[in-house]
Amino acid sequence: MLIRNAREVNFFYGSRTQIRTIPDAEERILGDLRWAGLQWDEEVGGPYGPYKQSERTEIYQKHADLLIKTGNAYRCFCSAERLNELAKLKSKLGLPTDYDRTCSNIPEGESGDRAARGDSYVVRLKVPTKYPQLEDLVYGVVGGKGKYGGTLAKNGELAYEDPILLKSDGLPTYHLANVVDDHHMKITHVVRATEWLSSTPKHLFMYEAFGWQPPAFAHVGLLQDRNGQKLSKRNFDLDISTFRQDLGIFPETIVNYVALLGWSHNKAKDVMALDQLVENFDLKFTKGNTIVTSEKLWFLQKAHAKLRADEGGEKFEELVDRVCLFAHDDLVEIGRNNLKNGHSLRDYISAILKADSVNFTTPEDFWKRNSYFFAPIIIDQYPIRYSNGKMVHSVPVYDLVQCARQFENIPLQIWNSSAIKGKILEMAATSSGTSGLESMECGKDKESTSIKRTQKEWSKAFHHYLRWAIAEGKEGPSIGQVMEILGRDISLKRLKEAAALAGHGVVSQGVDATHS
């Protein structure tokens, strides 16, 4: 099966005309496809070349002449001025503005002589009264027994729409080029946007006129923004270099993201590597247009970051390198603060990435999110109440401060997230009973439930306190992982400084704030 799908290329680069006007566009497109891990069957030197339309002009002209000879096309010598006046007149009369086929009546000999003399002309397809029936792989049978080859006027007459196949400069339009190219390159399936659905009957007629077997067609919805407008470079930055270089999106993320646009699958999850996408792919596209949003892109970026961290290897090392490169400007400050727990910057960043890969989006976001790993933290008095005045928790701050001191009992040799988590569980079992939250309920079952509820609330309060004291209250890896990565000395130092602030808060806030 050979599939031609211009959707992904157009998603990033725009129309064919735009591509021709961008310097080095071909090299950039091929480079981006290789970066994304996408391979193609042929390039320069393949059996179906040449592969640039500008180098295939002779082929298109030859096939246009063949259509003229069989009576399925004709040369049109009408000037642009005449065509404009004709369209204005027919519009005033309430008639379809299609071409009136004036030049279709010119004898072939006269038409050939005028062309030989150098008269300017275009080649138009002479469409049939009814087109061949179209059976689309997504939309099914379209147009019943065949779409009319023109537009019905109010008086019931049929105005034929004879599209231009070859322009006056000898270059083809899409109508001719796609049919000729796909046949000679042995394309079996064409996947393209629904905006071409109305033109496909013309293409089927051309296949029939040439005596060729047409490929299977699957028309998929347009890509739109949130306002329902067709996606374009004017309203959405779609150049792949933005994703690749500026945002640092992984190639597997962008391939996964684009493959899911409008595609319906029955798998349990959307996160797939390229080989999984190939294995699971089918032509079950959803009908209708697709709204393109960034939320799915960032979800997939986080998922693939976690896969990189879990699997390790070259892709994870590349991610570490990328973050280190972003951190280059801050190396002096990081060295001055000496917060790397005795490790190299690369190993330190690697440990953080493994702990927090599930939240990774871009190197810049990683740096902001995990800033407390690289610089001294700045905390104010412990926040006993939320901004709306509600208590953060009911556990006395004094108890939390005292419990936090027990981390000093963990020796350096076993200072790791498992030991820290174990110490927290131990304190939850022994300290929660002194927190003033004892239940007055009776009965063993109720008592057990009450104890669990008490321990859960104490644990929640203690984690809240630790995250404030260790990480400025910011989100990130589990507090045990944070304390392991920071190391014993830095963690205990921050807890000591936090205890002083929490103690000051207790005095200044009064008894109610401490023991409520």
Q: How confident is the model at residue 10 (pLDDT cuts 50, 70, 90)?
A: very low
Q: How confident is the model at residue 196 (pLDDT cuts 50, 70, 90)?
A: very high
- CATH 1.10.1160.10 maps onto the chain at 240-373
Rounded CA-CA distance 19/13 in Å is 7
Task: Say if CB 60 and CB 172 are below 8 A apart.
Answer: yes
Q: Which of 37-41, 305-309, 390-394, 396-400 has the lowest mean pLDDT?
A: 390-394
Q: Output the pLDDT for position 503.
A: 63
Give per-residue pLDDT as tens, 374-387.
Answer: 888 888 888 876 66
Give per-residue pLDDT as tens, 42-81.
Answer: 766 678 888 888 899 999 999 999 999 999 999 999 999 9
In this prediction, what percent of the chain has a pLDDT beyond 70? 80
Report which of residues 107 and 442 the model is more confident about: 107
Q: How confident is the model at residue 9 (pLDDT cuts 50, 70, 90)?
A: very low
Q: Which of 248, 462, 194 is nearest to 364 (CA)?
A: 248
Quote the tokens at residue 214.
């047409």
Helix (H) or strand (E) holding 123: strand 122-125
> What is the pTM assigned to this prediction?
0.79
- How far, rounded to the nearest angstrom, does the alpha carbon of residue 322 sit from its chain's CA centroid? 20
Query: Which residues are within 8 A (CB) of 160 and not within 5 positions of it... i.e. 6 or more apart?
Result: 98, 99, 101, 126, 127, 149, 150
Task: Say if CB 226 and CB 292 are below 8 A apart.
Answer: no
Task: Say if CB 32 and CB 240 are below 8 A apart.
Answer: yes
Give per-residue pLDDT as tens, 81-135.
Answer: 999 998 899 888 877 788 889 999 999 899 999 999 999 999 999 999 888 889 9
Q: Output the pLDDT for position 381.
A: 83
Q: Output the pLDDT for position 337.
A: 58
Q: Which of 257, 320, 330 is nearest to 290 (CA)?
A: 257
Token pair 């610089």: residue: 375
Task: Say if CB 257 and CB 251 are below 8 A apart.
Answer: no
Number of other CB atoms surrounding residue 175 within 10 Å: 18
Q: Which of 4-18, 213-227, 444-458 has the lowest mean pLDDT?
A: 4-18
Question: First and final CA of the chain: distance in angstroms?
Answer: 72
> Above 50 in pLDDT, residue 443?
no
Q: Output the pLDDT for position 149.
A: 65
Cα three-residue angle 63-72-53, rounded to 5 degrees = 30
Task: Say if CB 439 and CB 447 are below 8 A apart.
Answer: yes
Q: Output the pLDDT for position 266.
A: 83
Q: Output the pLDDT for position 39.
A: 83
Token pair 């659905």: residue: 197
Rounded CA-CA distance 390/461 in Å is 14
Task: Give the C-alpha distances (Å, rounded to integers) separating 277 from 303, 310, 488.
Answer: 15, 20, 45
Give per-residue pLDDT as tens, 208-250.
Answer: 999 999 999 999 988 888 888 887 655 555 678 888 888 889 9
Q: Which of 264, 243, 256, 356 is nearest to 296 (CA)?
A: 256
Q: What are phi and psi for residue 359, nearest 5 degrees?
A: -110, 10
Q: Output the pLDDT for position 234.
A: 54
Token pair 């001055």: residue: 336
- CATH 3.40.50.620 maps onto the chain at 48-220
Identify any residues that bridge with 290 across adjacent strands, giving them in sequence order: 223
Q: Which of 48, 296, 314, 300 is nearest to 185 (CA)?
A: 48
Q: Which CATH class is domain 48-220?
A: alpha beta
Rounded CA-CA distance 78/392 in Å is 81
Fold of 240-373: Glutamyl-tRNA Synthetase; domain 2 (1.10.1160)
